[in-house]
Amino acid sequence: IATMLEGRLQTQQRSSCNGRETSLSSSGFGMKLEAVTPFLGKYRPFVGRCCQTCTPKSWESLFHRSIMDLGFGSVILVKEENTRFRGWLVRRLCYFLWSLEQHIPPCQDAPQKIMESTGVQKILSGKAPEGAGEGQVSDHVKKEVQRILGHIQAPPRPFLLRLFSWVLLRFLNCLFLNVQLHKGQMKMVHKAAQEGLPLVLLSTHKSLLDGILLPFVLLSQGLGVLRVAWDPHTCSPALRALLRNLGGLFMPPEANLSLDSSEGVLARTVVHAASVPLGLWTGALAVLRSLRNCWGRSRRVCVRVHLAQPFSLQEYTINARSCWSSRQTLEQLLQPVVLGQCTAVPDTEKEQEWTPITGPLLALRAEDQFLVRRLSCHVLNASVASSAVMSTAIMAALLLFKHQKLLGEFSWLTEETLLRGFDVGFSGQLRCLVQHTLTLLRAHVALLRVHQRDLLVVPRPGPGLTHLARLSAELLPAFLSEAVGACAVRGLLAGRVPPEGPWELQGVELLSQNELYRQILLLLHLLPQDLLLLQPCQSSYCYCQEVLDRLIQCGLLVAEETPSSRTACDTGRQHLSAKLLWKPSGDFTDSDSDDFEAAEGRYFRISQQSRCPDFFLFLCRLLGPLLKAFAQAASFLHQGQLPDTESGYTEQLFQFLQATAQEEGTFECADPNLAISAVWTFRDLGVLQQIPSPTGPRLHLSPTFAVRDNQDKLEQFIRQFICN
């Protein structure tokens, strides 16, 4: 571990001003912190369960009951026992023999079935020349369909697939120590495959290696050849021909043309009949570049593949349509509150869709487009919940948001993550884990030796803080409910207690449940949907109750009984109201707090326990980079050069965030993704308007927010949720 002796004094002074120094010391902690395990008690937390509301049958039938008892296995660990043969020669050729025994299902007559489909016949019958006979129409159909299918896919070549799997197996063993796969998650996928219906797998692209790693993993587990959708623009013609023979799928260029283009109608019809999986994976050239970068590493690493619980798409389409409710745009919901025109928040959901509008999606009806967008929210929610939290994310969050000893805080934050039902991707001795994590982050932190066994860890200013903020964002889903609640409490206290006041002064204020609901709703509407990833079937008011319950469970809020309210334990005079009696069954939560009229007399105080101030500050700072970027975007409105294209204005805002970071030290906000999120949110809020022009759509500042006073109101509205 390197120590920066020359710049120690200067670095310590700068870090002391920013309050970001962290000591790596184990003094004061017992033996229970010497080891970190990826489970609480006896079992690991199960993650990635499908939605019980939209897919109740899949939730029950496609769940493996003994999943908690099953561990991980390495898919690249191939031995003599994995083949049908035995002997010393088999032990030396086990990779090759294993590749020969892989099951590759025979290719069915897909072109004939596609040509006979109703949609293709209907489209191509109208494209036949006038006066053409029946035979000529058939030849025309064959030529058109075969041309499009030749671009989309080719029959898999068993020899090439086995050769490729053998080469990839040897290469992955050279690159990784192991590729872990949870046996229980694989059992659920096998159970879904036994239904006899095709499987569609969507990837969240955690790495550039996904395009070759995931097909190999599924092929090795007996699921056959995975048809992978690739982006044709990143592949050369020769590479595209090879990937088609290995099971690759390529969207025809005509499929992304506008709906009024006659050339794209046939391509979209053939794609619909061929059932191409959703999503595009990165090209092979980018994968090869990443492999070249990994080849020079002296230490091999481990890889884990997560699989969420499968669910029936047919069941989802039937049940999801019954969960639709009224929705309003963000401009209708939030703009009157921001400008002070009203105080009540409408009892409706937010309509905010950032799904890219492509050719195949435009070909669907409006109702089906909405169904696809809701499906994407469900899939992203499950995939994020399935992903394990890595040690670098925990360390980055501690370095950015905590100011205490790393060993104890690392163990505590790992335990808190597991308590919230999220998995972690590491285990081992605590001191070794912390030192290894700091080694991975050595380019972004400085390590200063204080005593013989203690180190002072200081994040490097500039791009190092930006990188740590990106890593810490991976921890946000585990603490999102508490973080939203803490920022909402901060916004509620903003007008009552000075932010620099003592913690005891904030605990004096009474917070009514209705006020908490309102603040949580305002923050939920402000935060982007791709950050919250709320399930579409869950209402915002149900989520408000969940946030409030989490704040009570973690000890930040305590119930306070006012003299005029009924005692909490007095159940003798409680009655179910008519509103509650006639509620639909899906509207009930774990408590009866959804009856907001009965919540008038419920009050809370901030807990005065010794650990609460630090935990409250930690939760608020998890959302700090995003909220600070939004506030700086509001202050930039009078400086931005408008009208401009969306990408041009985003670049202007990003440069402003970088300049502000140099002045104020807020480098965690200087992220281009935060600039994009701010521009999209302001567009939905009605701050920016997108107006068509001959050169394309351009952003304009709306007349309402052209007034400097309204710009200041927007910035003040955002800053009330920020805890400095």
Does the structure show a pLDDT above 90 at 525? yes
Does the structure show a pLDDT above 80 at 50? yes
Does the structure show a pLDDT above 70 at 524? yes
Within a domain: residue 715? Answer: yes
d(CA 479, CA 320): 27
C-alpha of 564 from chain center = 45
Q: Which two tokens stand for residue 722?
A: 């920020």
Mean pLDDT of 154-173: 79
Within a domain: residue 347? Answer: no
Within a domain: residue 445? Answer: yes
227 plus 79 within the same structural domain: yes
Share of the chain above pLDDT 90, in %: 23
Flag the least confident range among 23-32, 231-240, 374-383.
23-32
Does the structure show a pLDDT above 70 at 171? yes
Within a domain: residue 379? Answer: no
Does the structure show a pLDDT above 60 at 302? yes
Could you give the 3-state DSSP secondary structure of residue 490?
helix
d(CA 265, CA 257): 9
Mean pLDDT of 113-140: 58
Identify the pLDDT of residue 573.
42
Q: List C-alpha distances in Å: 502 to 508, 609, 618.
A: 11, 14, 17
Q: Would you place residue 639 in the very low, low, confident or very high pLDDT band (cuts 50, 70, 90)?
A: very high
Number of domains in the chain: 3
Most confidently modeled range among 216-225, 272-281, 513-522 = 513-522
Residues whose CB is less than 8 angstroms from the CB of residue 644 and which lie 6 or more positions away in sequence, other chains included: 652, 698, 699
Helices (H) and strands (E) in the chain, counts: 32, 17
Does the structure show a pLDDT above 70 at 55? yes
Flag the least confident range among 196-200, 488-492, 654-658, 668-672.
196-200
* Per-residue pLDDT tens over the stretch 36-46: 777 766 667 77
Within a domain: residue 577? Answer: no
d(CA 99, CA 225): 13
Within a domain: residue 690? Answer: yes
d(CA 185, CA 69): 12
Could you give the 3-state DSSP secondary structure of residue 181?
strand
Backbone CA torsion sign across 338, 340, 342, 343? positive
Mean pLDDT of 284-307: 59
Does the structure show a pLDDT above 90 at 649? yes
Identify the pLDDT of residue 187.
86
Nearest to 477 by CA among 389, 399, 555: 389
Does the structure show a pLDDT above 50 at 504? yes
* Per-residue pLDDT tens over the stretch 389-411: 999 999 999 988 765 678 888 88
Does the structure show a pLDDT above 90 at 287? no
Mean pLDDT of 524-549: 88
Q: What is the mean pLDDT of the chain?
A: 76
* Per-residue pLDDT tens over the stretch 435-480: 889 888 988 988 887 776 677 888 888 888 889 999 999 999 999 9
d(CA 397, CA 610): 21
Does the structure show a pLDDT above 90 at 378? no
Which of 474, 507, 529 marks a domain boundary? 474
Nearest to 353 by CA among 327, 379, 333: 327
Which of 474, 507, 532 marks a domain boundary? 474
Identify the pLDDT of residue 219.
80
* Per-residue pLDDT tens over the stretch 320-376: 877 666 788 899 999 999 999 988 888 788 877 666 655 566 667 777 778 888 888
* Per-residue pLDDT tens over the stretch 61-115: 888 777 766 778 888 888 887 777 787 887 888 888 888 877 776 665 556 666 6
Identify the pLDDT of residue 709.
96
The two beta strands, 698-701 and 688-691, are antiparallel
Identify the pLDDT of residue 278.
30
Which of 417, 441, 474 marks a domain boundary? 474
Flag the least confident range among 81-90, 230-239, 523-532, 612-621.
230-239
Within a domain: residue 530? Answer: no
Residues whose CB is less than 8 angstroms from the CB of residue 324 and which lie 6 or more positions away in sequence, other chains included: 370
Q: Would you place residue 195 in the very low, low, confident or very high pLDDT band (cuts 50, 70, 90)?
A: confident
Share of the chain above pLDDT 70, in %: 67
Q: Do residues 509 and 493 touch, judged by C-beta distance below 8 A?
A: yes
Q: Of 26 and 613, which is predicted with more confidence?
A: 613
Identify the pLDDT of residue 653.
96
- Distance linking the first and last C-alpha atoms of the chain: 32
Mean pLDDT of 589-610: 65
Does the structure show a pLDDT above 90 at 675? yes
Residue 160's φ and ψ, nearest 5 degrees, are -65, -40
For residue 446, what is the enclosing H or E element?
strand 445-449
Q: List C-alpha distances in Å: 84 to 51, 91, 169, 694.
A: 41, 12, 18, 68
Does the structure show a pLDDT above 70 at 572? no
Identify the pLDDT of residue 71.
78
Q: Which two tokens stand for residue 382?
A: 């499950």
Backbone CA torsion sign across 232, 236, 237, 242? negative
Mean pLDDT of 633-657: 94
Q: Would you place residue 182 in the very low, low, confident or very high pLDDT band (cuts 50, 70, 90)?
A: confident
68 plus 215 within the same structural domain: yes
d(CA 495, CA 653): 29
Provide the residue range defining the domain that includes 667. 624-720
Binning the chain into helix, strand and coil, the percentages to the nearest 5 are 55, 10, 35
Encode 576-610: b = buried (16+ Cβ within 10 Å), e = exposed: eeeeeeeeeeeeebeeebbeeebbeebbbebbeee
Flag the least confident range among 46-50, 205-209, 226-230, 673-677.
226-230
Q: Of 26 and 369, which is predicted with more confidence?
A: 369
Q: Of 446 and 498, which is predicted with more confidence?
A: 446
Q: How much is the pTM?
A: 0.79
Cis peptide leading into 253, omega within 30 of 0?
no
User: What secondary structure does DSSP assign to 93-153, as a single string?
Assistant: SHHHHHHHT---PPPP-HHHHHHTSHHHHHHHHHHSPTT--HHHHHHHHHHHHHHHHHHH-
Identify the pLDDT of residue 251.
60
Within a domain: residue 523? Answer: no
